[in-house]
Amino acid sequence: MPFIPSRDSLKLIPNNILKPKYNVNDLKPGIIHIGAGNFHRAHQGIYLDDLFNYGIDYGWAVIGSGVMPNDKFMREALQKQDYLSTIVELEPNSKKVRISGSMIDFLTVEKNNKSLIKALSSPWVKIVSMTITEGGYFIDNATDKFNSEHPQIVFDSKNIERSTSVFGALFQSLKCRRQLGIPPFTIMSCDNLPGNGDVTKNAVVGLADMIDHDMARWIEAEVPFPNGMVDRIATVTSDQQRQRLLEEYDIHDQRPVFCESFRQWVLEDSFSMGRPSFEKVGVTFTKNIKVFELMKLRILNGGHQAIALPGALLDLDFVHDAMKHELIKAYLAKLELEEIIPIVPPVPGIELPKYFFQTQERFSNPQIGDTISRVCQESSDRQPKFIFPSIRDRLSKGLEIKGLALESAIWCRYCFGESETGKAINIVDLHSKKLQSNAKEARNQPEIFLGMEDIFGDICKNEIFKEEFSSSLNSLWKNGVEKTLKNYLESE
């Protein structure tokens, strides 16, 4: 008889499924997490679940929240199962299923975030964590700075009590706490961004500066924004995966999470009201967070882009399919070992080539079922963070960028919106219309695509980059993806 995860049904769970060793009713909230999707539940949620299983830190449970309309559907689904989550960890020849109880509630999702602001203003909130995607921080990709001219930020600054952004809610609740004499909470980004804590601080302080200069200076001085590097591949859950969970484990969960077994979290130890004992469950605390960030963002996230985009053009569906394609796999290895890894700073305790070989294995795991379409989403946010910094660094050192320029050209070819067989590609991106329009014009005039200075920044003016990009794009249209990759692999 299938069962829906709930506090009452935990005792019915068979022994082959891991379940909380603690009484979920004993947990008390200490964290509000904004954006409680699959990655949060597979990452931060599991680290907390591990702590609770050790019988410690029961006062650090999570209350979920969201500011996007779709978050209400996550809330409705999790509410029906007492906010428990089924986490399926997949390896090539095995899987491990566990029920996590680290989330104990989910705030009502409202347009003006009133419930969220009220909760954030409460003394029990010690940490506010968030996964709001790389594009949710209002970054100007050309300058890497907070975009104070974004329409939503301009609106919030003039109508703060009707604001709709995360940062409007954070500003209002911090102002309330200050007025009531409640210490400020720590704001902890868990998104894939270089200097994610600094980026978050720039957004909160940037909005505050537009509203109340004194409040902005107080936030700047009193609120911690620890930087962190997060890593775990968690897929978008499919109907097929839900059915597998039901057939193989009798679990009827509408929002299960399927992910790899690997996970990593590196953090700065900067918290205003204490923190969970994360170091006891494998989290690394360091003052030198930037080298860990660069390693992950350039080698893993950059590598993801390098295999997913050509995979999409060749009508491949999954990341592991791309890794089975000999030319794509060889392209990834040459790009990483010859152009990306040589300019990544040393990381304490980690050999970068070994880290890359481990990354290759993770990408090749067929059980994950990570879709190429997911990795290609929001590419106009991902390219400036995962690929362009490597191009910029190599150009500054006078080093070759042939493979990186080819990746950028493949991105342009992808934005054209058709695979090599003529199959339509759905460009899921905030700037999809602009990307596709420029990509179509770039078929005959490659430099038109580079004219998007708001995305490319200063590298679009570099003559070496323009030449390599144009040469690669012309080859992609003339010779196709496979022939172009083969020519690159055979080049000195």
- Residues in the chain, overall count: 492
Of 288, 405, 295, the residue nearest 359 (C-alpha): 295
In a domain, 200, yes or no: yes
209 and 306 inside one domain? no
261 and 296 inside one domain? no
In a domain, 196, yes or no: yes
Q: Helix 481-490 to helix 402-415 angle, to the nearest 10 degrees?
A: 180
380 and 293 inside one domain? yes
- Distance from the Cα of residue 253 to its chain's centroid: 24
254 and 296 inside one domain? no
- The owner of tokens 């080093």 is 399
What is the rounded distance in angstroms from the CA atom of residue 340 to the CA atom of residue 406? 13
Asked if 475 and 484 touch (Cβ cutoff 8 Å), the reply is yes
Domain-terminating residue out of 285, 301, 333: 285
Q: Which residues of 340-351 are buried (b: 16+ CB within 10 A; e: fewer)?
A: bbebbeebeeee
- The owner of tokens 């594009």 is 135
In order along its 492 residues, the chain shows pLDDT tens digits of 688 899 999 988 888 899 999 999 999 999 999 999 999 999 999 999 999 999 999 999 999 999 999 999 999 999 999 999 999 999 888 789 999 999 999 999 998 999 999 999 999 999 999 999 988 999 987 787 899 999 999 999 999 999 999 999 999 999 999 999 999 999 999 999 889 999 999 999 999 999 999 999 999 999 999 999 999 999 999 999 999 999 999 999 999 999 999 999 999 999 999 999 999 999 999 999 999 999 999 999 999 999 999 999 999 999 999 999 999 999 999 999 999 999 999 999 999 999 999 999 999 999 998 999 999 999 999 999 999 999 999 999 999 999 999 999 999 999 999 999 999 999 999 999 999 999 999 999 999 999 999 999 999 999 999 999 999 999 999 999 999 999 999 997
Domain that holds residue 296: 289-490
Asked if 172 and 415 touch (Cβ cutoff 8 Å), the reply is no
In a domain, 1, yes or no: no
203 and 225 inside one domain? yes
Number of domains in the chain: 2
236 and 144 inside one domain? yes
281 and 305 inside one domain? no
Of 465, 458, 381, the residue nearest 142 (C-alpha): 458
213 and 245 inside one domain? yes
148 and 229 inside one domain? yes
SS3 140: strand
In a domain, 4, yes or no: no
In a domain, 2, yes or no: no
What is the rounded distance in angstroms from the CA atom of residue 187 to the CA atom of residue 224? 6
Asked if 272 and 222 touch (Cβ cutoff 8 Å), the reply is yes
CA 430, 433, 437, 440 dihedral sign is: positive
Tokens of 89: 């960890």
Domain-terminating residue out of 249, 264, 285: 285
